[in-house]
């Protein structure tokens, strides 16, 4: 079950409409969330995915996301907890350490980086550098060595040169993502980056293909590590043809039986 616990965003990335359409960050009352989780658990929910536009900034009366997860993990029938989507600047030590301390928190995190070029990150107003991002990845891995990361990439952001694109590829190779989503930059009306000059479609298409080839290869390599391994799978439903069961292992890899 998915539960929205947070809405809005104060980050103002220059390509994003969320701060304008959803307004400032707002966190739902934690007691109401816990009641909702308990009621879902009574109806059979085993996994909770906490949702928010900027979920790691959750804070309700000093109950942070880490504290909320600790409370949810005490509910016996809930076996798995995940959260999405996060900004890299909103992780404190308590939340990072939870991946080591709390077995119900699944070892897979969606951590959008968007670009591997410091210049582009600055133009996007992401307020972190590649070094910050890689440092954060290390901090997670030091706590939980098997943790896997997925990410989002915007290809061909205005101002992106071949060298910036290469920086993104270098970052992807350094991290090794188990899953990723990549898109060609497209203007969102009302956002500051609509005033920037766009890069030609021909160039961005080539860059996207190059990026996706590497990301797909990484995903395949990771999935191949699962072959002949014992996996913990939560089965969710039957496939449309009713011939198979569909589930996901702890790293979000789809499993069909
Ligand atoms: Fe906020 Fe994410 Fe949009 Fe940036 S991309 S403004 S962090 S919702």
CA of 185 relative to ligand 1 center, distance in Å: 15
Chain centroid to Cα 28, Å, comes to 20
pLDDT in tens, 63-74: 999 999 999 999
What is the distance in A from the centroid of ligand 1 to the CA of 113?
Answer: 11
In 3-state terms the chain splits into helix, strand, coil percentages (rounded to 5) of: 40, 20, 40
Q: Which residues line ligand 1 (CB under 6 A)?
A: 9, 11-13, 16, 18-19, 53-54, 87
Nearest atom of ligand 1 to the alpha carbon of 85:
2
**pLDDT for residue 162:** 95
Q: Is the pLDDT of residue 193 over 80?
A: no
pLDDT at 107: 97
Burial letters 87-112, b for 16+ CB under 10 A, else e: bbebbeeebbbbbeeeebbbbbbbbb
Helix (H, G, I), strand (E, B) or coil at 171: helix
* pLDDT, average across residues 85-103: 96
**Predicted confidence (pLDDT) at residue 197 exceeds the cutoff of 90:** no
- The pLDDT value given to residue 187: 85
> What are the pLDDT digits (tens) for 155-187?
999 999 999 999 999 999 999 999 999 999 988
- Contacts of 205 by beta carbon, 8 Å cutoff, 6+ apart: 184
188 pLDDT above the threshold of 90: no
Q: Of ligand 1's atoms, which has the minimum distance to the CA of residue 12?
A: 6
Instruction: Give me ligand 1 centre to Cα 131, in Å.
Output: 20
Contacts 24+ apart (CB under 8 A), 158-161: 158/123, 158/185, 158/193, 158/196, 158/197, 158/198, 158/199, 159/119, 159/120, 159/123, 159/196, 159/197, 160/115, 160/117, 160/120, 160/199, 160/207
């Amino acid at each position: 079950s998915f539960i929205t616990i947070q809405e809005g965003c104060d980050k103002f990335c220059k390509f994003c409409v969320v701060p304008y359409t959803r307004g400032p960050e707002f966190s739902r009352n934690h007691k109401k969330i816990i009641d909702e989780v308990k009621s879902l658990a009574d109806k059979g929910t085993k996994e909770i995915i906490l949702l928010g536009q900027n979920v790691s900034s959750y804070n309700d009366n000093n109950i942070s996301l880490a504290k909320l997860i600790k409370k949810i993990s005490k509910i016996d029938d809930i076996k798995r907890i995940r959260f999405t989507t996060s900004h890299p600047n909103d992780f404190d030590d308590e939340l990072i350490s939870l991946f080591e301390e709390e077995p119900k928190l699944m070892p897979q995190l969606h951590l959008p980086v968007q670009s591997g070029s410091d210049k582009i990150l600055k133009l996007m107003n992401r307020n972190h550098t590649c070094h910050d991002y890689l440092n954060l990845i290390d901090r997670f891995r030091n706590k939980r060595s098997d943790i896997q990361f997925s990410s989002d990439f915007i290809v061909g952001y205005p101002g992106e040169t071949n060298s910036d694109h290469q920086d993104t590829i270098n970052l992807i190779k350094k991290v090794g993502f188990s899953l990723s989503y990549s898109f060609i930059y497209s203007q969102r009306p009302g956002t500051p980056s609509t005033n920037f000059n766009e890069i030609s479609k021909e160039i961005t298409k080539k860059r996207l293909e190059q990026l996706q080839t590497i990301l797909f290869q990484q995903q395949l390599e990771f999935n191949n590590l699962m072959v002949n391994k014992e996996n913990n799978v939560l089965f969710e439903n039957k496939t449309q043809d009713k011939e198979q069961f569909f589930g996901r292992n702890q790293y979000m890899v789809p499993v069909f039986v």
